[in-house]
Structures are given as structure tokens and as C-alpha cells.
A = this chain, B = another copy of it.
Amino acid sequence: MIVIENAEDMCRNTIGKPRVLVPTMGALHSGHGRLISHARSLAGPSGMLIVSIFVNPTQFGPDEDFEAYPRSPGEDQSLCVAAGTDILFQPTVEEMYDEEASGSHYTAADSGLITTLCGPGRPGHFDGVCTVVEKLFRMMKPDIAVFGKKDYQQLAVISKMTRDLKLPVRIIGAETVREEDGLAMSSRNRYLNPQQRCQAPAIYKALQHIKEHGAMEASARIMSAHEIITKEAPLGKISYLQIVDRQTMREIKTIDRPALAAAAVHFGKARLIDNVEIGPIPQDNE
């Protein structure tokens, strides 16, 4: 028997049988597979691994790809079984957003964290993310939840929400999984035609260049990263390419603290995002 005095102790995976949640929107690829396997190891043999699949309408803008978002329920189930999932949670939109069942509850993202990167281009997106994640936490009651670092700003927003609302869940960020040529795995890569697919790795190459570039000034690094994408991915349309403080998600001019270089690039209807951490990586984020 273990004696504990607070909710945090219930969330540490050293105690008992942790419940670990991996929230996804389905269309699972081997990046998700790696994420889910990592979650399985956090849960341990006695813990419980829950994967949720829900394409959340409230995090898509009116001109975004909610309807077209790839769905592959059969393959998703096989991947979940293979990765050791105990419970697959596949709610309907009605289940998640029925007024009677869950109240008309709405959770806003911390406004300070969404002035950069995906924030300005996707108004309401992170509020939708917080709303659905808070609901998932309430319904599935995880001790630990694992999110991919590819959506780094989402990870920051969810971590902040969890702290602000004192939700008894430990948030873990899992490393981005990449194709052999460096392209970050994403369900939206399915949208790419062969030409676009050939050019898309330029995003990661540009971000790596920012990381390895010697200059302290962010602007110089960004400029040469821009050049890489323009030159190697002429089919790509840069939505943003920024260096931000990894804690605050605020743009920085000088890279003198833990930073993040992040980009969003459109290839046709596919909006791809990626990022790399610059500077020390906090221990808890894996």
C-alpha cells in the first residue's frame, strides 16, 4: 500500500498503475505508433493505455480541412492494437458536444501563448484544442497524457491549461518522428503529390539550418532559412517562419534562452508544420 498526500502523487508513473492517454485525430501513421508505444512504456504492464480518436470540429476554422481531414478507422484500430492499446476511445461529435451530456463548457487557450506561430493564422483553433482536451481529461481521467512535439505550441497551450486549471494530469511531450529524408510525419502528408512530397523536407532542413547557424540574431538565421525553402521548395508557400521563446511562445530577437524555430508551409491544400528546439531541452519533456 502506498500513502499519498496530493493529486500530483497519483500522476507519477512510479506509483501503482498509471492511466496514460494519447489523444489523436486518427489517420494514424508510424509517428503516432511511436507515440503510443512510448505511452505504453509509461503505463507499464499494469497501467492502462487509452488512445482517443476524435476529429474535433471546434479546432478547425471555417476554411480549413475538417470535412476532408483523412479518416482511416480500420487501419487506426490495427495500429492501436499493435502498439498495445487497452482502450480505444472513439466518441461521436454528439457525445463530445451534446449540451445535455457535457454542458456547453468552453475552455479558452492562454492568450499570451498564441500571438505567434499558428495562433494568428488559425483564430479559435487553440480554444477548440483546449476545450476538447479538457473534456477528454474529464471523461477518461488519465494520470499522464502524451502529446507530440510536432505540435509544439499545442503542447505549450495544453501544459499551461493543465497548470492553470490544476488538472491532475502530467503532460508529456514526445519527440517528432521523421521520414528518412527528415520530413516530420503528419496525417496531412497524405495530401501531398509526388512533387510536393519531394520538396517538403526543405522545411526541416531550413529549421535545422537555423539551429546550427552561428549567429545570435534571430533575423539572420530566419533569412537564410527562408532562402533554403524558397530555393528547394518552390511549390511551398511559407505561412510563418519564426524563432520563439520555448516557454512563452513569444518571438525573440536574440537567441539567448531555450528557443524554438518553427515553420508552417503550405503545399497546395496541405498546411505542414514543423519545429526544432534550440538550446537545452527540459528533462520532463520526454
Contacts and interface: CB of A to CB of B under 8 A. Distances in A.
Given A3-B88, A17-B17, A141 B139 contact: no
A95 B3 contact: no
B48 A17 contact: yes
Nearest to A141: B141
A138 interface: yes
A80 interface: yes
A2 B88 contact: yes
Interface string A178-197: 00000000000000000000
A111 interface: no
Interface string A60-84: 0000000000000000010011000
A269 interface: no
Interface in A130-154: 138-143
A139 to B, nearest CB: 4
B138 A1 contact: no
Interface in A148-168: 166, 168
A81 B1 contact: yes
A242 B224 CA distance: 82
A28 to B, nearest CB: 13
Interface in A1-21: 1-7, 10, 15-17, 19
Given A5-B89, A10-B141, 19 more contacts: A1-B77, A1-B85, A1-B86, A1-B87, A1-B88, A2-B86, A3-B77, A4-B89, A6-B91, A6-B95, A7-B140, A10-B140, A16-B87, A17-B46, A17-B86, A46-B46, A102-B166, A138-B168, A141-B168
9 contacts: A1-B85, A1-B86, A1-B88, A2-B88, A4-B90, A5-B90, A7-B140, A19-B141, A141-B141
